[in-house]
Amino acid sequence: MQRHYFGDINDYRKYILLRKFLKSGGLRIAFCWMLRHDDTRNDGQDRRYLANEARWKHLDPALYRFLKAACDQDPSSGIKRIENSDLLRGCCFHGAELKPAKEERARYMSGFLKMAKDHRAQLAFYDSDNGVEVDSVPIGSLRSPKYLYWHEIEEAYSQRMSLLVLQFFPHELHPDFIRRRRREIADHTGSKNVLAYDARRVCYFLAAHEEHLAAIEATNRAIERDETSKQIHIIPH
């Protein structure tokens, strides 16, 4: 996550989804920001939805008002502001900056898992820039903070937390990619319950433990009951 992307359209959908897990599912969430230095690209800063209240505000009015006010003032301070708000009550946040070096990264991830355990989190959310690792970016390289690595997914799932992993879609057909990535997540975690939430430009993959399925099903029913389902399409396991 980069601070200057705060409040863009992908963020709006992300927070809508997380609020469904919190409010409808009643899950305690450990939020790993995976913060890194802002780069000079602005391809992710699509905030045009904030100028179209009639189309977007009704999806989550309180969240919409908050994001609009934050982006009108200073998007780069938005992360701290949303942490300090009541919008994500039930979340604990790991907000340190993620560095490329292997040793520092290992300490960062261990610190996140300790925080999650201390808060008795049931769901871990990783907010990486791009998603799961790719072969061209080995861990420890300069661009590695943009990715979550398979061994980190395996370790977190072994802590009895369900996992929610952000993944930007690559340049391939979405259904094909979703099927492949779900199989990979199932293989790496051993989860028999891997769901996907297709949020247009981004997909959220959920590897669920059995004891959390009732809460997840309640969340999914809440999504399907309102217009959230037009923005976030649930693809069941």
206: tokens are 């959920």
Q: Count CA within 13 A, CB hemisphere, residue 68.
A: 14
Residue extents of the structural domains in the chain: 27-46+91-235
162-168 and 123-126 strand pairing: parallel
Task: Kindly report, residue by residue over 161-180, the tens digit of the pLDDT.
Answer: 999 999 999 999 999 999 99
Say how many CA atoms lie within 13 Å of 98 toward its Cβ: 31
Burial 99-115, CB ≥16 within 10 A → b, else e: eeeeeebeebbeebbeb
pLDDT tens figures, 132-158: 999 999 999 999 999 999 999 999 999
- pLDDT exceeds 90 at position 7: no
pLDDT, tens digit, for every residue of 23-43? 999 999 999 999 887 555 555
User: Per-residue confidence at 77, pLDDT binned at 50, 70, 90?
Assistant: confident
pLDDT in tens, 52-72: 999 999 999 999 999 999 988
Are 117 and 155 a contacting pair, CB within 8 Å?
A: no
Query: pTM above 0.85?
Result: yes
